[in-house]
Structure 1
Amino acid sequence: MVNRYYCVKCPKTIKSSYELLVFDQKNDPFMPLTEYYADCVKRYSANTAKSYLNRLMEFFTWVGVAKTNQLLEMKWDSNPEMVRVAVEYYLMDELRCKVAAEDSYLYVNLTRKSPLTVKSFLSAIKSFYKFACRARIYKFANPLIDIQSVINSVYLDKSGERPDAPRMPEISGTEEPISYRKITDSYFKMGASEWEPHIINDRYLPDRVLEAGHAVGWTLREKIATLMLFETGARVSEVVELLIGDYRKAKRETEAMTFSKRSYGKRVKYIQFSPNTAKLLKHYINHERIKYTTGSKQLNDLNDNDPIFVTSRGTGLKREAWFYHWNKAMKYNGLKLNPHKARHWFVTTRMKMIYERAKDESEFHRYKEQLIVYMKWRPQDTVKAYEHYFNQEESRLIQLEMHEQMKHTQHEYIKNKTNYVKNYLLITIYIPPNNNY
């Protein structure tokens, strides 16, 4: 039986500044929630305060179980990134939500299995850390706030009709009304009531994105990461936060081991990319990467825990930092596209190939289940039912065929693009001579 966080009302015979005490899984007083509830009842109705407390006790109970199983190292006062990871996993694993990455925040979509308390939980956890920051018992900024949304709301175009003059109030009737909705500052933003996959059937999409990146001066790092997103179907963090050991320990030079949403950092799946991208990746590690790191170490000399992709300061590249380069390219070229769409494009392309390749229904289902296992999709029961005949090598061959098709499409795109710098996309398949790979 799992020990849970719980609360006890203070007996009337005892004088205390707290209406109730919250205890953790070890039956020790948990003062952060105790003090939060005391503050909460002053700001909200009694029902809301108790509802928020219940949601938070459920969350911290789940965190305690995850820590016991060595799946998560989060504490209530961990840094914002660790708190966000814990909340994300809780939303997916416990509350059965779909969580998709956007520009600088995560989009939360309910499913048929999601409880009605999801919105209440997100409000509660944001309220808790707002209190903790205000009370100075949490030393970081509120992890449930999306800083970029705050910045964007500050810099919205609020200029008036008269040049070089402050905007008149709306009641004056002399200004056009500002047509924008209030932008929520939440890091986890609620989406539609039911999640549906996106179908993206533009075969030139990878080339359009690379073209946009070229226009804004993407380095080899951004180009390789983009190629890997489209070729592997992986999430942004699963690509840009790869470690040297993830690549070096893989079975083939066209593969890398990586984590998934539910693996809590454990490397539980492989991703497969094209031979050309593998050559570019080695070239980046052995040449471009060295410019920003100390020691001038090449692939064979680096430690397994060293990041593959690094910033200009030599630190490991993170998803949030990589978004800046992606968004810059998309804005310049007028493409309304977040990098998660590369994953949808990959699935759409693979499914189309499966339909074209399968000779009968049995073969179609086998190919489909290979894709499910590769993507590490749920439901797990469905995956396990087919794993006994899953042929990983066959799946690799299908994906290699897809990479060849992408290469052919790329050349076709260059050929048909009259006002395009033809030498650009060729860099994705060109490796300088005399390099020993």
Structure 2
Amino acid sequence: MKTILKVMFLLCGAGLSAVAAHAQKKVIIEDESPKGVVLVTIDKAGDEIIRIMNESQLPYIHEPQAPRFLLTDRKGKFALGIGGYVRATAEYDFGGIVDNIDFIPAYIPGGSKIKNQFQMDASTSTIFLKLVGHTKILGDFIVYTAGNFRDGSNKGFQLRNAYVSFRDVTVGYTYGGFMDLGALPSTIDFQGPNGATFYRATQVAYTYKGLKNFRFNASVEVPSVDGTTDSGLDIAQQRMPDFTAYAQYGWNSKSHLRVGGLIRSMTYTSTLSDKAHAVTGFGVQASATFNVGRQWQVFGQATYGKGIGQYLNDISNLNVDIVPDPDKEGKMQALPMLGWYAGLQYNISPKVFLSSTYSMSRLYSENGYPANEPSTYRYGQYFVANLFWNVTPNMQVGAEYLRGWRTNFDDSTNHANRMNLLVQYSF
């Protein structure tokens, strides 16, 4: 019996070894194989891959870091990274509330009996795919898609970026040209300062980098128009794209000045006319960020225009790109509006920093607007102070205080306070 068992074990062992050897032959990738794929950590990738990954990293605190692991070809010319972060926040409002998961002064209710509010959120956790490489025809190219789970109350997947970039041309859905990601402050609040320009759009954009320290960009973007209408007015299908452009001068990796502009045409229809009409909107913007010594960073932005509510954080929630003209029946108008912020960041150490920002957005009256609605939003104010600690290269925690004010055209003011806590782990 023992002899029989020994023979069976030997046969099983030989069979398993043969299967393993056969399987091993199937998965071995020969060096000369052009389609071979290797899993590596990013620090082991080729110099070309690391350079493209670093140069294409978007300078915004809510954008994921470079992926930890990559799938590369044997020659290290192409790499696919999969990464993201898990982000959880706890929020407590006191002395007044903001009726939103983000701190939006426009959503501070008037006359509310509720003065305290507790919320938690993990819906901004993000996942992305990023393919990078270099070819003679396309030069450096990036294919990038990213999304989070903040799609209404159902926590469905929401697209944040989906674009391809090559030869300084970007095609797809990403951050618009009428904003400056590099000058935005660091906040736990996912939306950020109420006077900042912030939006995404499907676009075709070109960036010229041929002059030392200068960068020029122009884009054609799909328009999004939100307006206030009445029974005789409607927002129509848009006939023209939005056009943006900017010029930037930078003197080191953390310092630049930028000026930009936008022009748009917003189409509407009226029951008093048998044809469509359009209102022209425009915007001008200046932004800057620069370091003072090794520890201080200064940043700010100012934006003014007509009919640009879609682009300003606070005012984008009010549907005021175009509004009825009280002085002209059947006509719509674009209102003047302003947004700005200024802030400081102090780097205590390479892992810990403090920052603070003050911001304001303002909607101006024109031609009698708002008629008979004195409780309409006039301006909002936003103050934030926070502390961030990068516990490890992949884990960040933070604490934040926010205060907001909403003032209406009747000069009534309501305010709110919020404390935020953050835990975020990148992968």
Shorter-chain TM-score: what band?
under 0.3
Name the TM-score, length of structure 2 as normaliser: 0.25
> More helix by proportion, 1 or 2?
1
Name the TM-score, length of structure 1 as normaliser: 0.25
> More strand by proportion, 1 or 2?
2
